[in-house]
Amino acid sequence: MPTRPTLNPVLSLAVAVASGLLIGAGQAPMGLWPLTILGVAGLTWLLIDRSPGRAFGLGYLTGAAMNTLTVSWISVLGAAVGVALIAFLALWWGLLGLFISQLLRLRWWPLLVPPAFVAMEYASGKVPFGGFSWSRLGYTAVDTPLSGWYAWIGLAGVSLLVAVLGTTLLYVALDRARWRRGAAVVLTLFVVGGLLNLVPGATPQESVTVAMVQPNVNRNEHGTSSYARSVTNNALSETIFAVATARTQATDIDFVLWPENATDVDPINDAETRSLVETAASLAQVPILVGAVTDGEQEDTRQTTSIWWDPVDGPGSTYHKRDLVPFGEWIPFRDFLLPRLPILKQIGRQSIPGDAPGVVTAPLPGHPNLQIGTIICFELAYDDTSYETVLAGAQLIVSQSNTNTYGGTFQVSQQLTINRVRAMELGREVLASTLNSVSSPIDTHGRVLDPTTEFTSATRFAEVPLRYNVNLSVHVGPAISVGAGLLTLIAFACAVVMGRRRAK
């Protein structure tokens, strides 16, 4: 087991907070990825020879600091919401601290600690209510040579590599005679990642041209009776501008892309909203992929939906968002909590999740069976949901998002970073479409090609290749997550058993 100097309680707390801030500093918009590696090393070092209780506490404090830095934007929903979420997410880091303190007692700790980070990210992204795993280590590698690994081992695999770099740094720091081994690990991961970035992809023979419409909204109207109508009015207005621009530039558009919540009222059941969408499609003379709020099958429910809207045939194939934000789009234990917490009334109607992969059938002239992969906002954080788009046959990916609530916060750049990661993982261009945030085509190398400015109306034209490949990451990434969890549990059990034997 490694050793470290004895620290007084105050210094231990300070190191825990510092480690959390360092780990978070690699996330967007800071992007200081070397600090994340240093933070992983710092937390691991701090947990050497700690009792389970103290290890949990130090891990909790680290997680609280990291999440305060990275996801405190959730507080725009209310200070209490932000405090509650950060306090809960820190519990996972407390458990991580407890597990790492035991794994450090094993000889192979430099290789056993990194899977614990991946296991924590996997569990926190599942439990409870679908989880909330937003600030993963793998996101910090998007602008490093490690990004070459995304297409091969997925986001979970890259999180593992970032943690390996952290434990390797500590391994060398504890004994400088090991620097050759440490240097070999670092060089291998970075050099191979860089070479993987150079692997040429297939050259698609087909493409479609998309007009990405960013409608913009008056944020001061949110919650008023005029807001729902003005959103769709703006989408219509910007579509008219996009069509006029395309015709002036002799650009042939195949379809128009509207973001999430471009219609805040069901465009199928509401006559006024339907008229606006039909007018836009008729003027464009091409289909529109509409991001809409639709009525659920049960009374007083809703769904977040992507609708393929043809100018002649009207609404066609749909996809209903599956991964919903707990206490944002739906209320767990609604019948019990709503009467006791009146603030939850602000959430509105209960959202109902869809049950099918995010693929919309989008027939076009020359592409009668075009399959568009649709990822709606918060779903970006879920590996399985993202991977299932290409497994279900998606030839291109659109990422429709509202982001109105979080405009001007870290959330915007973080979500754009996740879009970049998904583009590299899936080997698909991603059209990141937002209501009034940052919209842009993103290529398969994760490059943001032509971003819009927040709080503006804008249009971007993108010629998007149609691709059919299924990257190895789609199969390997989930296996790494599950494998890391199993390995961590087995290693933890071994450490506990060995510890009890030594105590005897």
Residue 342: the pLDDT is 77
- 37-55 residue pLDDT tens: 999 999 999 999 999 999 9
With a cut of 70, say whether residue 225 has pLDDT above it. Answer: no
CB contact set of 24 (below 8 Å; sequence gap of 6+) = 30, 36, 39, 65, 66, 67, 69, 70, 135
Q: What gap in Å lies between CA 210 and CA 381, rounded to an integer?
A: 25
- 450-492 residue pLDDT tens: 999 999 999 999 999 999 999 999 999 999 999 999 999 999 9
| Lookup: tokens for 397 | 């990916």
**In this structure, what DSSP letter does residue 164 have?**
H
- Mean pLDDT for 364-391 is 96
- Strand 314-320 relative to strand 350-351, pairing: unpaired
Of 3, 24, 16, 8, give the one whose Cα is nearest residue 410: 24
Residue 197: the pLDDT is 92
Instruction: Check: CB of residue 491 under 8 Å from CB of residue 103.
Output: yes
Average pLDDT, the chain: 94
For every residue of 413-468, DSSP letters joined together read HHHHHHHHHHHHHHTS-EEEEESSS--EEE-TT--B-S---TTS-EEEEEEEE---
| pTM score | 0.95
